[in-house]
Structures are given as structure tokens and as C-alpha cells.
Amino acid sequence: MQELAQGIQALPEGDRNRDGMAIVYQLCSQMLPYIREGQIALEETIMVEIGQSQAVSITDFLNG
């Protein structure tokens, strides 16, 4: 976590890599207590898909 935080701080704000690293940091910080308690094994594979949500078209809005 410390190494990740240092990497985030080394990049300028608005950098896409910094933003991605910040998301990973947030996920890891929220999961760390569960890993320490043994509720999540380190051997587990967790996949996170991040993407922009699609904008609703005007026709969907009018018909919805």
C-alpha cells in the first residue's frame, strides 16, 4: 500500500495512470482488513472491470 501511495504521489493530478492507481489503492485499502483477518485468501483472483457508463440516448429517455 505504501509503495502504491508513493507511485500515486509521484504522478501529476489528472494523469490517467495516477487515476487508475488511485482506484486500485481504494479497492486494496477496503479489502486489506478482510485479507488480514483471513476472510479473503491471497490466492484468490479478483477481476475488476472499469469502464465508462454509456450515456442514455434521447430516444431511450423519451420512451422510458
- By the 10 Å C-beta count (0-12 exposed, 13-18 middle, 19+ buried), 4 is classed as middle
> Residue 48: is its pLDDT beyond 80?
no
pTM over 0.75: no
Nine-digit cell at 3?
509503495
Higher pLDDT residue, 46 or 15?
15
Rounded percentage of the chain residues whose pLDDT exceeds 90: 44
Taking CA atoms, 2 is separated from 16, 26, 61, in Å, by 20, 12, 45
> Residue 61: is its pLDDT beyond 70?
no
